[in-house]
A and B are shown apart, each in its own frame.
Chain A
Amino acid sequence: MNEGMSASRSTAASLPRRAGLGLRTPHLQQVLREGPDTAWFEVHSENYFADGGPTLAALDAVRQSYPLSLHGVGMSLGGADDLDGNHLRRLKNLVRRIEPAAVSEHLCWSAIGGRWLNDLLPLPYTGEALDRVCAHVQQVQDTLGRTILVENVSSYLRFLPEDMTEWDFVAAVVRRTGCGILLDVNNIHVSACNHGFDPADFLAAMPADAVAEIHLAGYEEVDGLLVDTHSRPVYPAVWALYRDALTRFGPVPTLIEWDQDIPAFEVLTAEAARAQTYLDAVSRDHALAA
């Protein structure tokens, strides 16, 4: 956990700087059959923890044709409990088999006292939680033999008292572990609305060379609270924040996520195409600047 670790940050170099799609079970066979012109795919790691069988074979087949990112939803990096050795071993086996372009996890917790809540739960941004997260990120990176990306989550509660802001917490994890950032722009917008901070402060605090992937998704509003449901198109305010992020960080590999009320594959493709136009624009600007 020293500052010099950040020099080894090269994990996502092979994810194309283009718009990709979250690949969910309803579209798996269609993708294999039709071979759509999608730049890359991301899947939830845990959905491929099986020892064998058709689902894992289908992922092997996708990997033959597309760059893949493995995105974990259950490591509980911020848990006061130790990491689950079985979970880590299964992830390691999957990473070895798939050789993904990126491996990511969430800056959250999911279990306590051996009982799993199987959700992305918010951390208190304290020194203790920071130490805990950094030790766990380090353990995952040591086990996998590669750096990982960590993603900021949406939150609906804030804890008191805290030692730092969320953005300083994220930046400190990167500084101390050498991991990369999976910047979820929708989650920044959701948390900013729920807790009343300025999303620009969040973007400004991110170490630019660590931002290796961006997520976009849609949320829902419930009783005045924004909830990260991944059940809608990307909202205009989130597209705007995305363009701010691209201006700041350059053309970063970008993923459209949709996990509930999953629409036709063509709807996802249209969302990715829109992200791609913004990526193309910022790529041109960067080329001109260079």
Chain B
Amino acid sequence: MPSLRELQTGFSAAVFTGGEAAAAFLADCVAGGSGVDAARAERGLAAYRSSVLANLAVAVEATYPVVAAIVGQEFLAAAARRYARERPSGSGDLNAYGHDFGDFLATYEAAAELPYLPDVARLEWLVQQVYGAADASAQDLVLLASTAPERWGELRFRLDPAHGLFASSWPVARIWTVNQPGYAGDFLVDFDQAETVLVHRRAAGTAVEAVAPGDHALLWALAAGESLERAVEAAAGDPAFDLPAALQRYVAAGLLLQAY
């Protein structure tokens, strides 16, 4: 009699590898696996293989509706099935599965003609994470108001946990926007346009928008715990960067949550 670990290891190999691993599992562990009921045992194993791979693939499909809108549901389903066989799930929560689907798409030959697709998937994953991120505490900028402007550089900021930042060589926020259900504007996308993107969940919904590279650099540095002075240095590469305007914008949006 195999141990519980041996049986479960054999089952997993039979599901993901099939072939000889499946034959060995049926012979060693399954009632009727090598006897008169072998065909029935094979049907049972096939039901599990089909169900496991479908659960994993469907979870990935459900997470990437914009990828689906671009490539079509059939193409996404095939990619998701291959992903499900190749990339292990690391959690009993299926919502956590598919985090590196963008990396997978970058190696998926069938998607090679859509070089922006991996970043679209990475942005979609980020949007999902922002959607379920912790709720923000109350905004508290008393320290900012009580600090003389010439000493603002020493301040640090806690950001709303429900935000994400993303930089791409592709216009991913634009692609995301024109592929939303019910989008009614024009569908022109300038594929030569790189974008830095802010994803921010607010009461009205989750906003996905391209922001200036300087804003992106500022917020990235602040989110990493840098002082405002260091964050402004990080933004200096963007000649159009306007600190007062940026501060005003992200205070009003509730993104700059607390000064400390």
Contacts and interface: CB of A to CB of B under 8 A. Distances in A.
A58 to B, nearest CB: 12
A112 interface: yes
A237 interface: no
Contact of A80 (B8, B40, B97, B201): B8
B44 A124 contact: no
A46 B93 contact: yes
B3 A128 contact: yes
B135 A113 contact: no
A269 interface: no
B134 A52 contact: yes
A51 B133 contact: yes
Interface string A41-54: 00000110111111
B55 interface: yes
Interface stretch (B46-54, B168-176, B221-229): B46-54
A112 B11 contact: yes
A157 B88 contact: no
Contact of A118 (B1, B7, B89, B162): B89
Contacts of B15: 117
Interface in B21-56: 29-32, 40-41, 43-45, 47-48, 51-52, 55-56
B88 A115 contact: yes
A158 B55 CA distance: 22
Interface string B93-105: 1110100000000
B132 A116 contact: no
B5 interface: yes
Contacts of B11: 112, 121
Contact of B7 (A50, A110, A124, A225): A124
Contacts of A109: 8
B9 interface: yes
Nearest to B58: A260
Interface string A28-68: 00000000000000000011011111111100000000000
A84 interface: yes
A110 B52 CA distance: 10
B9 A159 contact: no
B52 A126 contact: no
Contacts of B18: none
Given A113-B9, A128-B4, A55 B132 contact: yes
Interface stretch (A14-22, A71-79, A139-147, A206-214): A71-79
Contacts of A158: 30-32
Contact of A159 (B7, B51, B133): B7
A120 B89 CA distance: 15
B12 interface: yes
A266 B214 CA distance: 52
Contact of A46 (B12, B47, B94): B94
A52 B162 contact: yes
A114 B12 CA distance: 11
A227 interface: yes
B135 A53 contact: yes
Nearest to A116: B89
Given A50-B131, A117-B12, A224-B40, 7 more contacts: A49-B93, A52-B162, A87-B93, A118-B52, A118-B92, A126-B4, A223-B43
Interface of B: 1, 3-5, 7-9, 11-12, 15-16, 29-32, 40-41, 43-45, 47-48, 51-52, 55-56, 59, 88-95, 97, 131-135, 161-162, 201
11 contacts: A52-B162, A74-B91, A76-B92, A111-B92, A112-B5, A114-B88, A115-B89, A157-B44, A157-B48, A159-B31, A222-B47
- Which 4 residue pairs of A and B lie closest in terms of their CB atoms, listed nearest first? A74-B92, A50-B132, A52-B135, A80-B5
